[in-house]
Every structure is written in structure tokens, then in C-alpha cells.
């Protein structure tokens, strides 16, 4: 599949995720997996979505997600309705990562099982040589009513040079 480009509409997807509830503030709670239907949730909205190769991995955990947490209010002030992070990890791992990072209901953590959806838009990567299997590339998009307005993809998976929150803020 060719990489999705500006002006294209995202393909439909229903991502597994664990929606935040106050019960999850107890770190021994696991929550319940639900489906997050982007056609329903993102219709008519401005969305910033970014993908990471893996929750709790060094660059994703220390350099990528923290910028979105830090700049969340600025993204909202620029008219962003939804901020979401996508990774190929299972929904319980993403929920755990979200709780460790204090995301609560601000940034939605979505599971791209086997990076199949990212593959369908040309944005998966085989990291089997590093023991990680098929993952999402490190990418970020600004969407308006599910149409790509801006897209950035890191050429080196361990870099956050064009997909960080500050880079997307400059595009809004």
C-alpha cells in the first residue's frame, strides 16, 4: 500500500482500547476493552493522531508522548477536538501506559492490532530484527473530518524530529 497522503480520507477502523474511568486510578484495576470507531468518534472533528512503535519503549515513553501531554492545552486552544496515540501494543498495555503517564481522558490510547490499520495506510514497519515484530511507524497527522490535512513520518524510528507535538502545533 502506498502511504496515505494529504487530502485522502482515512479508512474506517474500530480500535480496541480501554476507556478511562475513575476506577482505573487504582493501578490494580484493568478496565474493560471497548471498540473506538473512528468514523463515529472523529466525524466532523479536528483530530491530532500520532503513532509510536511501542508503549514504554525509550523514545516513545521519554521523548514522544510527553510532548503531547505538555502541549495538550495548546493543541486544544488551536481547535483540536481529539488527541489520540496509536501503537501496536495490546489495549491493556496501552491503558497501563496511559495511566502511568496520567492521560486520564485527555489523550486516547488506541491499539492497532498487529499494526494492520497502519499497514493499510502504508505506515507500518517490521522491527522483528529488534525483537518487536510488526509495529506502527512513528507518524503524526492532523485530520479534519477524517481527511488528512497534514502528515509527518519519521525516517528513523528512534527520532522525534517531525512528529512531535510542537511540530504539529506549528501546522495548526
Q: Could you tell me the pLDDT band of residue 135, with boundaries at 50, 70 and 90?
A: confident
Of 157, 144, 161, 138, whose CA–CA distance to 50 is shortest?
Answer: 138
pLDDT above 70: residue 1: no
Active-site residue identified among 13, 60, 109, 140? 60
Q: What is the CATH number of domain 14-169?
A: 3.40.30.10
* 60 among known catalytic residues: yes
Cβ atoms of residues 138 and 157 within 8 Å: yes
The predicted model gives 81-109 an average pLDDT of 94
Q: Which tens digit of pLDDT belongs to each residue from 47-88?
A: 999 999 888 877 777 778 999 999 999 999 999 999 999 999
pLDDT above 90: residue 158: no
Amino acid at each position: 500500500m502506498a502511504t496515505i497522503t494529504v487530502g485522502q480520507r482515512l479508512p474506517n477502523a474500530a480500535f480496541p482500547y480501554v476507556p478511562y474511568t475513575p476506577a482505573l486510578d487504582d493501578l490494580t484495576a484493568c478496565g474493560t476493552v471497548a471498540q473506538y470507531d473512528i468514523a463515529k468518534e472523529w466525524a466532523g472533528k479536528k483530530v491530532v493522531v500520532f503513532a509510536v512503535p511501542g508503549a514504554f519503549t525509550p523514545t516513545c515513553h521519554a521523548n514522544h508522548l510527553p510532548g503531547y501531554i505538555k502541549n495538550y492545552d495548546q493543541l486544544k486552544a488551536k481547535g483540536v477536538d481529539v488527541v489520540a496515540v496509536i501503537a501496536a501494543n495490546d489495549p491493556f498495555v496501552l491503558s497501563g501506559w496511559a495511566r502511568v503517564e496520567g492521560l486520564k481522558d485527555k489523550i486516547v490510547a488506541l491499539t492497532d492490532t498487529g499494526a494492520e490499520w497502519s499497514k493499510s495506510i502504508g505506515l507500518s514497519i517490521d522491527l522483528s530484527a529488534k525483537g518487536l515484530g510488526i509495529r506502527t511507524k512513528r507518524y503524526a497527522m492532523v485530520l479534519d473530518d477524517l481527511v488528512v490535512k497534514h502528515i509527518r513520518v519519521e525516517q528513523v524510528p528512534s527520532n522525534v524530529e517531525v512528529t512531535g507535538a510542537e511540530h504539529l502545533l506549528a501546522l495548526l
